[in-house]
Amino acid sequence: MRLDKLLSEMGKASRSEAGKLIRAGKVTVNGTSPKKPDFKVDPENDVIVFLGEVLAYKKFTYIMLNKPEGYVSATEDESEKTVLDLVSDEDRKKGLFPCGRLDKNTLGLVILTNDGEGAHRVLSPKHHVSKVYRFECKLPLSDDEVKLLEGGVDIGGYFTKPCKIKMTEAQRGEITLTEGKYHQIKRMLEAVDNKITYLERISFGDILLDPRLRRGEWRYLTTTEEKLFN
């Protein structure tokens, strides 16, 4: 891989800043400074020192974010704030994107990564990765309506796959889905003449939203959590 590309993927500098720093001899590879931005490096084996810091290379970045209301799940948007606005500049330079979408007013767990293949795998319906959402609805949900929703409902030409619902109060509960159609839970509740008034994702596969993260805060996934993407 090119040295300037590696530095920008690691979020250390933009591609052009990296080029300037390499030319200025501020980056060494195995003890020598290559001076050419396209110098080829083996990030897993070469010892690369950037402005005096030995770089610890990781192929991909995985971030857990506690999404607040009012942010769209996109990398950029002309008029709205995006979930990428909440992470550090260094991380943003790494080409992160949200692994799956939450609506603008949905809260909770969003995973940001630059692992395209891994994200594709975990989002593929084949893999049945379950996601749990805490919800509140406008009207009480009867046992019959819960059964109906669990069996699958028509959300406008699409019949939802079986899911699990655990009610904690008449208008509050947790729903576990293994798929993610556009506005799925909102449309499911509309299918039984009800309305979602609160929605928060609390897990994604084995990854649980860290209760220490306040809305808008994030942290890197642990190596155990990253296994979902392997």
Min CB(101)–ligand URA separation in Å: 7
Nearer to ligand URA, 12 or 186 (CB): 186
Nearer to ligand URA, 50 or 71 (CB): 71
Nearer to ligand URA, 26 or 81 (CB): 81
Collapsing DSSP to helix, strand or coil, 107 comes out as: strand
Min CB(103)–ligand URA separation in Å: 4
Structure token digits, residue 91: 């991380």
Residue 37's nearest CA partner among 6, 4, 82 is 4
The whole-angstrom separation of Cα 218 and Cα 29 is 32
Nearer to ligand URA, 43 or 152 (CB): 152
Catalytic residue check, 103: yes
Min CB(163)–ligand URA separation in Å: 11
29 phi, psi to nearest 5 deg: -125, 115
DSSP 178-222: S---TTHHHHHHHHTT--EEEEEEEEETTEEPPTTPPTT-EEEPP
Nearer to ligand URA, 16 or 124 (CB): 124
User: Which parts of this chain interact with ligand URA (CB under 6 A)?
Assistant: 102-103, 106, 183-186, 199
Active-site position among 89, 103, 144, 193: 103
Going from the C-alpha of 184 to that of each of 44, 69, 124, 171, 181, the distances in angstroms are: 41, 18, 16, 18, 5
Cβ-contact 51, 21 below 8 angstroms: yes
Min CB(118)–ligand URA separation in Å: 21
Min CB(106)–ligand URA separation in Å: 3
Q: What angle do CA 150, 139, 171 make, to 5 degrees?
A: 65
Q: Which residues are known to be catalytic?
A: 103
